[in-house]
Copies of this chain bind each other. A is one copy, B any other.
Amino acid sequence: MRFGEQLKLLREQNGLLQREIAAELKIDTPMYSKIEGGSRKAKRQQVLQLVKFFGLKEEALMSVWLADQIIDLLKEEKHGQSSLLIAGKDLYPHNKVWQ
């Protein structure tokens, strides 16, 4: 589940229009539409605004937003899988998953 998809789901589950969330983020509807569609990236600050707006735990949206950026970084790369493991080992060495 990519970030835009997740966002659309949240919006629909809450019975909201794009324009209402766009207003909350102080951007116009086309811009918001692009974020849902995945052709534009939300800013970190906007993710935090969305977390508050929907009353979520930060991790629920933030981890998906971060994953989205990793996916964009690696999707065309031949060596993405090994780079994920190297990064994991470096950042979270206690977790055996990466070994």
Contact = CB atoms under 8 A, between A and B. Distances in A.
Majority SS of interface residues in chain A?
helix
Copies per assembly: 2
Contacts of A71: 87, 90-91
Nearest to A77: B66
A82 B59 contact: yes
A79 interface: yes
Given A63-B86, A64-B86, A91 B79 contact: no
Contact-residue size bin, chain A (C-beta under 8 Å from the other chain): 20 to 34
A67 B90 contact: yes
A2 to B, nearest CB: 8
A74 interface: yes
